[in-house]
Amino acid sequence: MSSLLFRRPARVACLAVFVVIFPALRSSAEDQIIMKDGDTISGQIVSVSDDQVMVAIRASNGSVNKIPSRLSDIKTVVMATPAAVTNVQGAAPATVIATLEPQIRQFAGLPADWVVAAMAQLAQAYATEDQGDRAMALYNRIDTLYPGSKYHAQAIAGRAAISLKQGKIGDALTALQPIIDQANQNIAPSPSDGALYASAFLVYGQALEAQKKPQQALEAYLTVKTMFYQNPALAEQADQFARKLREQNPGLGVE
């Protein structure tokens, strides 16, 4: 890995505001579904099942009607993160599992960043609790539900983390390399893309550490801090990894 930090186009200065992959807490504001034909449906998204999204729409007389929309006809979704999902950030794995499992059952498949981020967090909790099979199944489900999407990077990073935990360092690096290459070509990633790349770089750094390549690992962690810091939790994790690596390798720096 070349000196990524100093060979990439400088773009840190123009990204002055930290943006979180999870949107703000869900409020009384209506969710919006933008259809591929240009129509917009406003209401409250209540569930996703098979190829249908169920939306509750309040009529002028106060009654509530539930209207289905086909997932395949949806272009984008604007939906704030449920409070339960936001509040579980940083919680113990058991709490994460208990909280996120019902959320994933309710909303998996919805084309919203917070849903995929929550699926990844749940998978990480499974892996931490030695439920590797369930974690791998959930990462595979991301690819199944969102084929050909940007979320493929999240699934790859998650599976690579499991491979690394199993001691399959080469497999992890091989899987991650295309995502790392793609990230290096993305001069101005969106907040959600930046967070997805951050997940990949964190695992990439850990794999390089396992290969006894501390300088390259440090570059990977610093790349998250300076380039893909849109998710503060991931940026903080990268900072912790970098500090620990430097403590273990006095005088360690980047070229």
Mind spelling out the 3-state secondary structure of the chain?
CCCHHHHCCCCCCCCCCCCCCCCCECCCCCEEEEECCCCEEEEEEEEEECCEEEEEEECCCCCEEEEEEEHHHEEEEECCECHHHHHCCCCCHHHHHHHHHHHHHHHCCCCCHHHHHHHHHHHHHHHHCCCHHHHHHHHHHHHHHCCCCCCHHHHHHHHHHHHHHCCCHHHHHHHHHHHHHHHHHCCCCCHHHHHHHHHHHHHHHHHHHHCCCHHHHHHHHHHHHHCCCCCHHHHHHHHHHHHHHHHHCCCCCCC
**Per-residue pLDDT, 108:** 96
Question: Could you report the per-residue pLDDT of 182-192, keeping only the tens digit for each?
Answer: 998 887 888 88
Residue-wise pLDDT for 18-28, tens only, equals: 223 333 333 45
Q: What is the mean pLDDT of residues 105-134?
A: 94
Q: Give residue 253's pLDDT band: very low, low, confident or very high (50, 70, 90).
A: confident
The pLDDT of residue 255 is 66
In the chain, where the domains are located: 31-79
In tens, the pLDDT along 203-233 reads: 999 999 999 999 999 999 999 999 998 888 8
Please say whether the structural domain 31-79 has been given the CATH code 2.30.29.
no
pLDDT > 70: percent of the chain? 89
Q: What is the pLDDT of residues 162-177, one digit of tens each?
A: 999 999 999 999 999 9
